Amino acid sequence: MFSSFASSFSNNLNSKFKFGYRLTKLNKEKIKKILIIKLRGIGDVVLSTIVLDNLRKDFPNAQIDYLVEKPSEPGLLGLKDINRVLLFERNDFWKKVSLILQIRNIKYDLIFDFFTNPSTALITFLSGAECRVGFPYRGRKYAYNLFGPEERGKYHSAQLHLETLKLLGLNYSSNKLHYSINSSALHTAEKYFRDNFIENNFVIGICPTGGWTSKKCDPEKFAEIANALIKKYNAKIFIIWGKSDEGDANKIHSMIDNNSFIAPETSIQELAAMISRCKILIANDSGPMHIASAVGTPVLGLFGPTNPYMHGPYGDKNEWIRMDELECIECNLLICPRKHECFRDLPVEKVLSKVESLISKNNIVIPIHG
């Protein structure tokens, strides 16, 4: 309902008016309050945090707030550069109206709408902020007077945020991602590792989570990879899972010969804390994959239907793998209409080669006796 209203509103504005004005640059001294808008997946929000250190350099005393959906909130709470987190309720029209009023009352000077859909464009337009940044997508330009890159598919999702800062004449030198883990979650992870591993264990995390069925590597392949890692490195395999992945996690665990541990049910904070304790994480294209990048755990992303150049684990310490030779690769289909060859036929030897690269580039010490 809100999205339809927003789309109709923007189309009417575009057809009748040239609303607002185009700014050519920011007056940094006038910016006291900043709002960053990023909806949808946890991983998307994690990638957007690349702007935080950069914005703090340009606006050392500014209030920086975030607007996200509920699942992304825990990773932002506790970050030193974020003052408050506002929540977008996708299916509640009146809460959206209340949110717009709240944003107007806060009186932001600068809004970055890094999501730029009809709803967030309308929120940005009605915010009252003098400086409104978004992407120049058709039907939404009315909401903004400063713009990020027009090209779609040219930049990695994290890099796109930096390119926006660059166009605005702002600092874009830092490429650090952020994810906050609270002390209770860290304590839970520390206790689990203390009870189940010894200090020099080579613990490799495996995470079967994935937003789409087609993005999820088959349990049989994960188990095949795990058994090869145990044989080559005497690794301890730690299976980390989310609420919808318990069946896959148990199946993987049942197919691993030995040295396999399965995490207890965790909150997203505890899952992040568990990831932070692993030496390496192997994961599908998912929120946990990006969380690993943010908390400093080297990660190998397994890709099939999605584009690793746009959505792969960000940063030089990470790796990704996919079968480029498949004619159906990067199909972007939610459900595979074939035999899921992009994962089922993935050569384990190539996965081990990527793991070796992670070990080398991150100077990971492999114990002689695990």
pLDDT in tens, 198-252: 988 999 999 999 989 999 999 999 999 999 999 999 999 999 999 889 999 999 9
Query: Domain of 115: which CATH number?
Result: 3.40.50.2000
Is residue 174 assigned to a domain? no
Residue span of the structural domain in which 149 resides: 2-167
**Statement to judge: residues 228 and 313 lie in one domain:** yes
Q: Model pTM greater than 0.75?
A: yes
CA dist., res. 162 & res. 142, Å (int): 23
Note whether 81 and 219 are same-domain residues.
Answer: no
Q: Given this model, what pLDDT does residue 10 score?
A: 47
pLDDT value, residue 12:
47
Neighbour order of strands in the sheet with 319-321: 260-262, 236-239, 203-207, 280-284, 299-302, 319-321
CB-CB contact of 157 with 28 (8 Å): no
Would residue 194 count as lying in a domain? Answer: yes
Q: Within a domain: residue 368? A: no
Residue 263 lies in a domain: yes
φ, ψ at 317 (rounded to 5°)? -80, -5
Q: Extract long-range pairs of 83-86: CB within 8 Å, 24+ residues apart.
A: 86/35
Give the domain-ending residue among 167, 198, 233.
167
Please state the φ and ψ torsions of residue 42, each to the nearest 5 degrees.
-60, -45
Residue 142 lies in a domain: yes
As averages over each run of 10 residues, the pLDDT of the chain (370 residues) reads: 50 43 79 97 97 97 97 97 96 93 98 97 97 95 95 92 96 98 98 95 96 94 98 97 93 94 96 98 97 98 97 97 96 94 97 98 83
| pLDDT at residue 21, as a whole number | 60
Q: How many domains does the chain have?
A: 2
283 and 210 in a single domain? The answer is yes
Residue 247 and residue 154 in one domain? no
User: Do 8 and 140 share a domain, yes or no?
Assistant: yes
